[in-house]
Structure 1
Amino acid sequence: MLSPTAKHHVVALVFDDYETLDLHGPIEMLGHMSDTHISLIGNQSIVRSYQGPRVVTDIQFPAVVECDLLLIPGGIGTRTLVNDKSLIDWLVRQSGVSKKVFSVCTGSALLAKTHLLNGTSATTNKMAYRWVTGLNSHVIWQPAARWVDDGKYLTSSGVSAGIDAALYYIKQTQGEAEARRIEQLTEYQWNSDRGNDPYAVDLFQGDAK
Structure 2
Amino acid sequence: MQPTPPVNYGVILFPGFQALDVFGTLDVLNILSTSRHLNLYILAASLDPISTKHNMSGCPSSDFGESVVPTHTFTDPPVDLEVLLIPGGRGTRDEEAMKPVVYFVRDTYSKLSYLLTVCTGSAVLARTGILDRRRATSNKKSWAWVTAQGPKVEWVPKARWVVDGNIWTSSGITVGMDLIYAFVEHVYSGKIAEDIANASEYERHVDPNDDPFAGIWKAGA
TM-score by length of 2: 0.85
Residue aligning to 1:187: 201
Distance change >3 Å, CA 133–CA 90, structure 1 → 2: same
- Stretch deviating more after TM superposition (50-59 or 120-129): 50-59
- Stretch deviating more after TM superposition (65-74 or 99-108): 65-74
Instruction: Give SS of 2:123's match.
Output: helix
Instruction: Give SS of 1:10's match.
Output: strand
Deviations for 1:109-136, whole angstroms, at most 9, x for unmatched residues?
Answer: 1101011001110000001000000111
* Structure 1 residue ranges without an equivalent (≥5): 1-5
Instruction: Give SS of 1:200's match.
Output: helix
Among the aligned pairs, what percent are the same residue?
30
Shift of 1:83: 6.8
| Partners of 1:31 and 1:37 within 8 A in 2 | no
**Does the alignment pair 1:49 with 2:49?**
no
RMSD of aligned alpha carbons: 1.9
Residue aligning to 2:71: 58
Alignment of structure 1 residues 59-98 onto 2, 5 Å: 59-65=72-78, 66-81=80-95, 84-98=98-112
Shift of 1:89: 1.3
Instruction: Give SS of 1:117's match.
Output: coil
**Does the alignment pair 1:152 with 2:152?**
no
| Partners of 1:7 and 1:35 within 8 A in 2 | no
Shift of 1:9: 1.1
Alignment of structure 1 residues 1-209 onto 2, 5 Å: 8-33=7-32, 34-45=36-47, 46-50=49-53, 52-65=65-78, 66-81=80-95, 84-201=98-215, 207-208=218-219
* Structure 1 moving runs of 4+ over 4 Å: none
| Partners of 1:82 and 1:113 within 8 A in 2 | no
| Partners of 1:143 and 1:201 within 8 A in 2 | no
| Partners of 1:82 and 1:110 within 8 A in 2 | no
Q: Tell me the matched-pair count.
A: 201
